Amino acid sequence: MSDPIVSRLVEFFQRFPGIGPRQAKRFVYALVDENEKFLKELSGAILKLGQDVSRCNLCFRIFSGLPASAGKSKYCPVCENPSRDESKLLIVEKDADLENIEKNNFYNGGYFILGGLLSPLKPEKKEKLHLRELKSRIEDSKAIKEIVLALSATTEGDMTRRFIEEMLEGLVKKRGLKITNFGRGLSTGTELEYSDRDTLRHAFENRK
């Protein structure tokens, strides 16, 4: 029978995306062999996440900064930047997708992170996505003219794209909004997180 401390840590690691029981155990066994200094630094860094890192109230991006109640901004640097093009809103699945697009420096509009994708095999995931918040943001911002769906070229990405288009159909007709999708450049099965600059740039420039 496994040690209860080991078992508990394995349970925690399995909550991370893409981590199964075998990988979780490897993480725990690796930590057992680390020195006390490393374990203290690791635990301290994890605690700092709750203290110094929060999600933007507008785009849901993770950024360093305490909540507004603690005297810090409730918006990330991108959303607070007045030089960004407010007429475009680019929707991505996760933080890593946003970071990959932002570092390649070909887009200067706003962002919105869904927090995942819809799945035909896991319909319960829908409740965890920021779909209601997305609709509210578009309803509240009269500056938005184009919504760019920058989602992975996967079954889940396609399903999410269709759902968002249907969800916003009324707003599109009422305000004349334009909804575009990344075009040529992303092959089937491609995730934005791992796409290079040229691939992303061509996909954005050929959006339709």
For residue 26, report the phi and psi dihedrals to the nearest 5 degrees: -60, -40
Residue whose entry in the numeric block shows the structure tokens 């725990």: 28
Mean of the per-residue pLDDT values for the chain? 87
- Average pLDDT of 38-53? 88
The number of angstroms, rounded, from the C-alpha of 16 to the middle of its chain's C-alpha atoms is 15
Residue whose entry in the numeric block shows the structure tokens 């690791």: 42
pLDDT in tens, 90-129: 999 999 999 999 998 889 999 999 999 998 888 888 889 9
Domain chopping of the chain, boundaries: 4-55, 82-205
For the chain, the 3-state helix, strand and coil shares in percent, each to the nearest 5, are 50, 15, 40
pLDDT classification of 31: cutoffs 50, 70, 90: very high
Q: For the domain made up of 82-205, give the CATH fold.
A: Dna Topoisomerase Vi A Subunit; Chain: A, domain 2 (3.40.1360)
- pLDDT at residue 49 is higher than 90: no
DSSP string, 16-63: STT--HHHHHHHHHHHHTS-HHHHHHHHHHHHHHHHHEEE-TTT--EE
Question: How high is the pLDDT of residue 184?
Answer: 54
User: CATH number for the 4-55 domain, one of 1.10.8.420, 1.10.443.10, 1.10.150.530, 1.10.510.10?
Assistant: 1.10.8.420
Q: Is 192 or 24 the better-scoring residue by pLDDT?
A: 24
Separation of alpha carbons 43 and 14, rounded Å: 18
Whether residue 62 contacts residue 77, with contact meaning beta carbons closer than 8 Å, is answered with no
